[in-house]
Amino acid sequence: MRPSPHRAPGLLLALLALLALATQAPAKAPAKSLALWPWPSSVKVSPKLLNIVVENFLIDHGPNSTAGPSCSLLQEAFRRYYNYIFGFHKRYHGPAEFQGGAQLQQLQVSITLKSECDSFPNVSSDESYSLLVKEPVAFLKANSVWGALRGLETFSQLVYQDSYGAFTIKESSITDSPRFAHRGILIDTSRHYLPVKTILKTLDAMAFNKFNVLHWHIVDDQSFPYQSTAFPELSNKGSYSLSHIYTPRDVHTVLEYARFRGIRVIPEFDTPGHAASWGKGQKGLLTPCYNPSQQIEKFGPINPILNTTYTFFNTFFKEISSVFPDQFIHLGGDEVDFECWSSNPNILNFMKKKGFGRNFIRLESFYIKNIFNIITSLKKHSIVWQEVFDDGIELQPDTVVEVWKGENYFEDLKQVTSSGFAAILAAPWYLDAISYGQDWRRYYMVEPLNFVGSKKEKQLVIGGEACLWGEYVDATNLIPRLWPRASAVGERLWSPATVTNLDDAYSRLVIHRCRMVSRGIAAQPVFTGHCSHEYEMKK
């Protein structure tokens, strides 16, 4: 349900509403108190205001929770959200004096099924939660810790500081769960290196928008910042410099920071194209490209005809599959340039022997099949860019196809899902393509399931990703370019399909953006205006 135009309840109605939770917010309510983002699946708000006295307020485990004080993931989340709600205000304005009245004293958080406190989230994680705010104790219930994290974010967005500096919250009841399981942000750390600090900030902002997948396009033609323990020369030679690398410790920092926010990290190692940087530290891995006088001129895609290529990838992906806990590895597979392969006499010879003729798609298919076999032997699943599907390359039954090309993405989704494969939609959400004005509206109005298809086909669309490719992006502009534009995608992927009112979204997004700013995220403005004093950027 989305907030509808509010009717003004009379005094009597308001009194009645004190007894029972009303389903609509009252007209005079400051819009701020309902600036939830993304909008939950069911929201009931009563006009009854509860005061929160910062010194008396507690966020803690409920008595029957399956996750107790030993769950550091939740303890840390309690501390974090306490700070988001009060920390900044306390430091800068001091507590307002409590004038008496109804009070909320505690938020009790209970995990009802399995806590999964020490595990990593995955594609089937349960992120649902329910939140009941009532005098004097609010209850947040979730099946798993992942849902509790989402509910804490929602709770933090319900608390409102009035113009006298007092904290208030309305009695309310919310039940919520995501519409799509896969809600991702793609970052590109090859075109420009992104400091770990910037990646962690991105994870913070993702949690504020209930995103749950960091798609880490970690290497590409331009640089190889991933430091491999098995093949250290890859980053020694292939990174921009030795200070532009991600050490095993850096990667671990990112993974753990993400886990604490219920975010999966899916690494992408794009091959056989987009792989120039691999060649610097791993001799013989790339295909030599020949000029017309049969001399080696440069190097092209991964060389698919050598056994050493697959020995290399066997060891490499074995490392990757143990470093990255997620069940999925993104294998890329986009934009393979066949020109180099066709210039190389050894490749042509190999193709002849294999009976491929001059069909380079069959060669690519041969390569990808070998890589799929490696990934399968490591008990991982693959994600590929749509070309791999479009080219008719044989996929594994569990391969997920990421649709990114152009305007015909509904047709592509139809093709992929009617062939029985799961799909992720990225095409309408290339946030690196910037333009003047409020392009978030365009992202917001995309309806991923707006194609003619069966229920089964639509269920195979597991989500989407907002992609920020890095040609023109580094640490100086990543955050403002992503936020709040990606927030539009966040709501589309989390909220019910009926949440489409742009005016309502605009008024909530303006406040949500200010909230992000107050939490240290340099999100750019939605339009003209200002953030109220309490939303000034953390120094």
Ligand X SMILES: *[C@@H]1O[C@H](CO)[C@@H](O)[C@H](O)[C@H]1NC(C)=O
Residues 6 or more apart whose Cβ sits within 8 Å of residue 425 = 403, 409, 413, 446, 448, 461, 463, 464, 465
* Cis peptide, bond prior to residue 496, ω within 30 of zero: no
Which ranges of 355-463 would DSSP assign to H, the alpha helix? 360-377, 386-390, 409-418, 440-444, 455-459
Of the residues 55, 99, 124, 452, which one makes contact with ligand X according to CB under 6 A: 124
Nearer to ligand X, 115 or 154 (CB): 115
Nearer to ligand X, 241 or 307 (CB): 307
**Cis before 345 (ω within 30):** no
Query: Can you tell me which residue has the tokens 């069909």?
Result: 359
Q: Which two tokens stand for residue 150?
A: 């989402």
Tell me the pairing of strands 129-133 and 264-271.
unpaired
- Does 105 bind ligand X (CB under 6 A)? Our answer is no
Minimum distance from residue 123 beta carbon to ligand X (Å): 6
Amino acid (1-letter code) at residue 49: L
Q: How far apart are CA 308 and CA 457, in angstroms?
A: 40
Closest CB 393 distance from ligand X, rounded Å = 20
The least CB distance from residue 182 to ligand X, in Å, is 12
Which of 213, 248, 212 shows the shortest CA–CA distance to 231? 248
Q: Which of 115, 140, 144, 330 is nearest to 220 (CA)?
A: 330
Name which of 91 and 114 has its Cβ closer to ligand X. Answer: 114
**Binds ligand X (CB under 6 A): choice among 75, 83, 106, 119:** 119
Query: How far is residue 341's CA from residue 367's CA, in Å, rounded to a whole number?
Result: 12
Answer for which of 10, 19, 55, 63 binds ligand X (CB under 6 A) is: 63
Pick one of 62, 147, 484, 490: the residue that binds ligand X (CB under 6 A).
62
Q: Is 87 helix (H, G, I), strand (E, B) or coil?
A: helix
Residue 338 Cβ, how far from ligand X at the closest point, in Å? Answer: 23
> Is 35 or 263 the residue whose CB approaches ligand X more closely?
263
435 binds ligand X (CB under 6 A): no
- Sign of the dihedral through C-alpha 316, 322, 323, 329: positive
Interface segment toward ligand X; rule CB under 6 A; list 61-69, 156-164, 180-188, 420-428: 61-69
The count of chain residues that interact with ligand X, using the rule CB under 6 A, is 10
Catalytic site residue from 335, 339, 394, 447: 335
Strands 167-176 and 42-52: antiparallel
Stretch that binds ligand X, among 9-17, 115-123, 147-155, 314-322 (CB under 6 A): 115-123
Least distance in angstroms from the C-beta of 315 to ligand X: 16
CB of 325 to ligand X, least distance (A): 10
Count the alpha carbons within 13 Å of 94 in the hemisphere toward its beta carbon: 2
Closest CB 127 distance from ligand X, rounded Å: 12
Q: Does the protein bind ligand X through residue 524 (CB under 6 A)?
A: no
Provide, rounded to whole angstroms, the least separation between the CB of residue 273 and ligand X: 23
Residue reference for tokens 């507590």: 95
Residue type, 364: E
Part of the chain binding ligand X (CB under 6 A), chosen from 57-65, 272-280, 412-420, 439-447: 57-65
Among positions 51, 71, 84, 116, the unique one binding ligand X when judged by CB under 6 A: 116
| Terminal C-alpha separation, the chain | 37
**The pair of three-digit structure tokens given for residue 26, joined into one six-digit string:** 């009252």
Binding range to ligand X, per CB under 6 A, among 3-11, 24-32, 56-64, 359-367: 56-64
Tokens of 137: 């104790």
DSSP conformational letter for 411? H
CA-atom Rg of the chain in angstroms: 25
For residue 83, the minimal CB distance to ligand X (Å) is: 25
Q: Does residue 465 carry a catalytic annotation?
A: no
Residue number with CB closer to ligand X (379 or 455): 379
Matching residue, tokens 């509860």: 50
Binding of ligand X at residue 327 (CB under 6 A)? yes
CA-closest candidate to residue 214, choices 228, 199, 224, 231: 199
Among 59-67, 81-89, 98-106, 494-502, the segment contacting ligand X (CB under 6 A): 59-67
Nearer to ligand X, 122 or 500 (CB): 122
- Candidates 64, 72, 229, 476: give the one binding ligand X (CB under 6 A): 64
Which residue is it, tokens 């590929």? 384
Placement of tokens 């030795």 in the chain: 242
Any contact of residue 268 with ligand X (CB under 6 A)? Answer: no
| By CB under 6 A, residue 307 contacts ligand X | yes
Shortest distance, CB of residue 133 to ligand X, whole angstroms? 15
Q: Which is nearer to ligand X, 84 or 313 (CB)?
A: 313
**CB-nearer residue toward ligand X: 5 or 63:** 63
List binders of ligand X among 332-391 (CB under 6 A). none
Minimum CB distance to ligand X smaller for 125 or for 495: 125
Q: Which is nearer to ligand X, 99 or 124 (CB)?
A: 124
Stretch that binds ligand X, among 60-68, 467-475, 486-494, 508-516 (CB under 6 A): 60-68
Exposure string (b/e) for 372-401, b if CB count within 10 Å is 16 or more? Answer: bebbeebebbbbbbbbbbbeebebeeebbb
Would you name the residues annotated as active-site residues?
A: 335
Chain contacts with ligand X (rule: CB under 6 A):
62-64, 116, 119, 122-124, 307, 327
